[in-house]
Chains A and B, each alone.
Chain A
Amino acid sequence: MIFGSRRRRDALKNVHAERDTFTGRAVAAVLFCMVCIVLLVMRLVDLQVVEHAYFSTRADENRMRVTPVAPVRGLIYDRNGTVLAQNQPAFVLEITPEQVKDMDALLARLARIVTISEADIERFKDRARKTPRYRGVPLRNNLSMEEVARYEIRRHEFPGVEVTAGLSRNYPLSTSAAHVVGYVGGITEEELQKVEERAYQGINQIGKVGVERSQEDELRGAPGAKIIEANAYGRPLRELDYRRGYPGRNAYLSLDAKVQLVAEEALGELNGAVVALDPRNGEVIALVSKPGFDPHYFVEGISSADYKTLLNDPSRPLFNRALQGTYPPGSTIKPAMALSGLEFNAVDSQHREFCRGQMSLPGSSRKYRCWKRSGHGWVDMHTAVMRSCDIYFYQLAMTLGIDRMHEAMTGFGLGHLTGIDLPLEKAGVYPSREWKQRTRRENWYPGETLSVGIGQGYTNVTPLQLAQMTARIAMRGLGFVPHVLHSTEDPITKEVRTIESESLPKVVLKNESDWETVISAMQDVVHTQSGTAYRIGRDAPYRIAAKTGTAQVVGLKQDEAAPKEHEIPLRFRDHALFIAFAPAEAPTIAVAVIAEHGSHGGSTAGPVARKVMDQYLLGKVLYDEPAPITVPAPTPRPRATPGPTESTE
């Protein structure tokens, strides 16, 4: 056997030699180990000393996750410091899917203590699919205190469910100022492509309409960052660093919340719009579009059912009538028409026309009637404005011609964008030969000039344009771009940036004293018994200059279905218009009111303007309603087109 002792003799014989050999080999082994150890140490020194900084960075990159933090959005105030948009603490119910074994059972149990709609669940599941499982997914926003309390008592029963506090945009004036303040909502994919993505890191809401949209860049602020330590699976473990974002600038609007509320309330049941401007600088004091809507629906993420209801509401609450609604201005343009005649020296203030109650153009049998069938007799400019004589303005329109009318009236701000700092403004139309040729490919007919002369025909203007026109008359020709933003303020440094008013080219009359002719006529509209709105000026401690107007709503577009019989009286009721400014001698407020289907400018739109001016100038509403306005609730109406011109009051 090879392990046997047959060779023991030999082995014994070599004992000393073998030991010496072994000693030699042991030395070699030690040397070998030394070489190996030196290799290891060299490599370790290389890693831990020479490249230490590099590997430290690599280790930090491994574990640190930078999570953007949304900045606090700037607040919106009115001119008196009343809050129009703020950030309120809101409780959000979040579920971390990873920690839930049976999601459906959990949702069912949760629904017993917290209101959860089908839409909430649908949205939650959709989001949960797109989020890592260890991250919380919101199920419900804006929990009520009761709901939070109910959850807190039983929270141990809901592992993986958490209530977190965040900020939610809140609008104290709610419906009353929704159109002007606007709202924020979730950023859509489409919007995200238009904006600079860096600026929106961590931010999931964006201004959608109103000031929230137009001042988005000021209000937004700069996102901060949270540095989170995460493990190899990306699970966040703890916060290492928190860099606050820079809060957005606060926006101070020229809007006066009290005036806004008074205007909204004064419209009563009527739909319509009220725009009040400070004529001295173009600042918007009130901008109402009725009906309004609750902006909070959009902040929380409106359900498609609610959105459909709003969209299909026949009174179109989402439609901002003040900026987007275009109406025939009717007689409200007569003061500006008179001034246009003076501007082009087509008439002087003494010029007279005889009103027989009707007239016709040479070579035509068509009758053009004054609203007063019996006629006004001899009327000069003052009387024509005060009593709103149509015949005088037909004649003036004939004298001026449509092109000069177009030039002068657009100079007053009609038929083009005012450039207000709010989104989605409509331009409206103040027609001209060129306009008709361009849009309809038709020649201009002289009869059309007459219609346009009394604010009918193709004329379609926004309430904002009417207010701007009124402000310009009030300022005796001076004009400004209307704007709702007064200033912005850095919430940290308190540095204030005031918006400069932008003035427009002045309307110059040959004889500057003629301004007073027209303005005194406008005062007589409300301050003398023969004026068309005598009641409006009653008991006013300040002088008002005003003009009434009625826009007929007659005729339907060819392609529209015939209305049901019983609806006709309602839908064809005239729009009531009213423009005014005060105090007449040194105006500080100019107002334009449109009350849809409000019949008579003096009786429905006038009181609204008066109340607005009372509130603004006196700080309280002095005006006493002579008789309650009773108007049936608005009903569906097809989009009306201005009908044949016959009369205005």
Chain B
Amino acid sequence: MIADLLHSGRKRKPEPGISDWLTAWHIDLPLLFLLVAVASIGLVVQYSASGHSMDAVWSQTQRIALGLFAMFAVAQAPPDVYRAVAPWAYALTCVLLVLVLVLGDTAKGAQRWLDFGVLRFQPSELMKLAMPMTAAAFLHHRRLPPSLFTIGLTLIIIGLPAGLIIDQPDLGTALLVLTSGGFALFFAGLQWRWILGSLGAAAAAAPLLWERLHDYQRQRILTLLDPESDPLGTGYHITQSKIAIGSGGIFGKGWMHGTQANLDFLPEAHTDFIFAVFAEEMGLLSVLLLLTLYMAIVGRCLWIALRAQDTFQRLLCGSLALTFFIYVFINVGMVIGLLPVVGVPLPLVSYGGTSAVSLLACFGMMMSVHTHRKLLTK
């Protein structure tokens, strides 16, 4: 019905084309194309990074497929549904986060997982979706630019789950949840003085935060400053990753010919450090292409946000787009030794289930926003 509405507003076409069909199914073709392109590159790199394991590629393909299905499913519902659902999703995820702390599985020294027998997932991953939705939905109803009171309330909404995630402890995800909420606030028109002020305050609070960090977290930051100081310990990841990337050069060593990755010098080659494998084997030119694809995704999302029809949609899309960018930036920054080692996967490329599915669901929301536009008179 909505498709009909859209259709009627457009110039008459002699026959329903592919774009009409796509619109009817709420698919944004450019975005879909970009996402599939990045995911395909990911699968190719995955094969080499996982030690030529077709199993790994196949299982990652299944996850991407599941993610795309989730994306289509999410895209079918109009954005208003998500605005309505947001508070409930938020509340439910917070409950799950509390549950994780109480009875979660422990993996690599941190409690992040909930095991429901069939389904085993990280609720913090869910919060990456719920947070921008909730923040956008909340701000949608407020008078903007936000008053001090609104800002305060928003910060509480953002801070509660972030605190729960920090306790797991999972600093990386907590920061991402914080940022995604923060971006909603930013797009809502948070005054520059508050932005600059809080950045200054954060800088001032850094020493306090330092005290609160776990030893391994501190070590990661120290290692970033001088990776060679501990070449076999924490610095090993960064050193080997830099060697991999640097030795790749402009044209790379060739697919499956990366010695750093294939000879196991590079740790976490198919997960967090997969970008190093890509850079080693494909070289700088391909890296620039991949970054361009990522930027195109961000750009398309911002464009969708600009054309969105209400504040919730704009804030949601803007926040998701920037969060996605932050994912890429933190992962690449970490792998090339610009940022400390935090467990952030490279979106759509790193091996991992929950991340790919939740990420693609986000893009489903953006497609929903873009394809459910009602024609309004200006």
Among the listed B189, B246, B265, which residue makes an inter-chain contact with A48, where contact means beta carbons less than 8 Å apart?
Answer: B246
B121 at the interface (CB under 8 A from A): no
**Do residues B243 and A58 form an inter-chain contact, with CB atoms below 8 A?**
yes
Answer whether A2 and B245 are a contact pair too, CB < 8 Å, given A22-B306, A230-B263: no
| Residues of chain B in range 174-194 having any CB-CB distance to chain A below 8 Å | 183, 186-189
Known: A14-B144, A18-B311. A58 touches B291 (CB 8 A): no
Residues of B within 8 A of A11 (CB): 140-144, 311
Q: Is B242's CB within 8 Å of the partner chain A?
A: yes
Residues of chain A lying within 8 A (CB to CB) of residue B332: 40
Q: Are B141 and A8 in contact (CB under 8 A)?
A: yes
Known: A29-B302, A48-B279, A63-B263. A21 touches B144 (CB 8 A): yes
Whether B260 pairs with A59 at a CB distance below 8 angstroms is yes
Q: Write out, one digit per residue, whether chain A residues 16-44 have a CB within 8 A of any chain B CB (1) or not (0).
A: 01110111011001101100110111011
Contact A47:B189 (CB < 8 A) given known A3-B141, A33-B298, A40-B333: no
Within 8 A of A (CB), among B118-169: 137-138, 140-145, 153
Chain B residue contacts of A229, Cβ below 8 A: 259, 263
By CB atoms of chain A within 10 A, which of B246, B250, B314 has the most? B246
Output the residue of B141, B336, B337 with the most chain A CB within 10 A. B141
Residues of A close to B243: CB separation below 8 A:
55, 58-59, 62
Assembly CA distance A21 to B315 (angstroms): 11
Contact, CB under 8 Å: A5 / B246: no
Asked whether, in the complex, the Cβ of A231 is within 8 Å of the Cβ of B263, the reply is yes
A232 to B187, CA, bound (A): 47
With A8-B141, A44-B279 in contact, is A49–B295 under 8 Å at CB? Answer: no
Quick one: given A23-B306, A233-B264, are A43 and B338 in contact (CB under 8 Å)? yes
Check B245 against A21 for contact (C-beta < 8 Å).
no
Among B188, B247, B325, the residue within 8 A (CB) of A36 is B325
Min distance, Cβ A46 to any Cβ of chain B, angstroms = 9
Interface residues on A, range: 35 or more
- Does B347 lie at the interface of the complex (its beta carbon under 8 Å from any beta carbon of A)? no
B244 adjacent to chain A (CB < 8 Å): yes
Report yes or no: A41 in contact with B291, Cβ–Cβ below 8 A: yes
B140 touches A41 (CB 8 A): no
The answer to whether A56 has its CB under 8 Å from any CB of chain B is: yes
- Interface stretch among B94-102, B282-290, B362-370? B282-290
A44 to B275: give the CA distance in the assembly, Å.
Answer: 12
Q: Which of A18, A29, A41 contacts B144 (CB 8 A)?
A: A18
When the two chains form their complex, are residues B245 and A18 in contact, meaning their CB atoms are under 8 A apart?
A: no
A45 to B249, CA, bound (A): 9
Within 8 A of A (CB), among B235-276: 240, 242-250, 259-260, 263-265
Chain B interface residue number, banded: 35 or more
A36 and chain B: residue at smallest CB distance: B329
Query: Are A3 and B86 in contact (CB-based, < 8 A)?
Result: yes
A4 contacts chain B at the CB level, 8 A cutoff: yes
What is the interface of chain B mostly: helix, strand, loop, or mixed? Answer: helix
B305 at the interface (CB under 8 A from A): yes
Q: Is A189 an interface residue (CB 8 A)?
A: no
Question: Is B246 touching A3 in the complex (CB atoms < 8 A)?
Answer: no
> Which residues of B316-346 are within 8 A (CB) of A?
318, 321-322, 325, 329, 332-333, 336-338
Which chain A positions have C-beta within 8 A of B322? 29, 32-33
How long is the Cα–Cα vector from A8 to B295 in the complex, in angstroms? 35
| B283–A21 touching, CB < 8 Å | no
The residues of B that contact A506 with a CB separation of less than 8 Å are none
Known: A3-B87, A18-B144. Is A56-B247 also a contact (CB below 8 A)? Answer: yes
- The answer to whether A118 has its CB under 8 Å from any CB of chain B is no
Asked whether any CB of chain B lies closer than 8 Å to the CB of A104, the reply is no
Across the interface, do B284 and A44 meet the contact criterion of CB distance under 8 Å?
A: yes
Q: Given A3-B86, A36-B325, A62 and B305 touching (CB < 8 A)?
A: no
Contact B189 A45 (CB under 8 A): no
Please encode chain B, from 78 to 99, with 1 for each CB lying within 8 Å of some chain A CB and 0 for all others: 0000000011000000000000
A7 interface hit (Cβ, 8 Å): yes
Asked whether A5 lies within 8 Å of B141 as measured between CB atoms, the reply is: yes
A58 to B239, CA, bound (A): 10
Taking the nearest CB of chain B, how far is it from the CB of A506, in angstroms? 71
Contacts of B288 in A (CB 8 A): 41, 44
B: residues with CB less than 8 A from A are 86-87, 137-138, 140-145, 153, 183, 186-189, 240, 242-250, 259-260, 263-265, 279, 283-284, 287-288, 291, 295, 298-299, 302, 305-306, 310-311, 314-315, 318, 321-322, 325, 329, 332-333, 336-338
Inter-chain pairs besides A2-B153, A32-B322, A39-B333, 5 sampled, C-beta below 8 Å: A22-B306, A26-B305, A37-B291, A51-B246, A55-B242
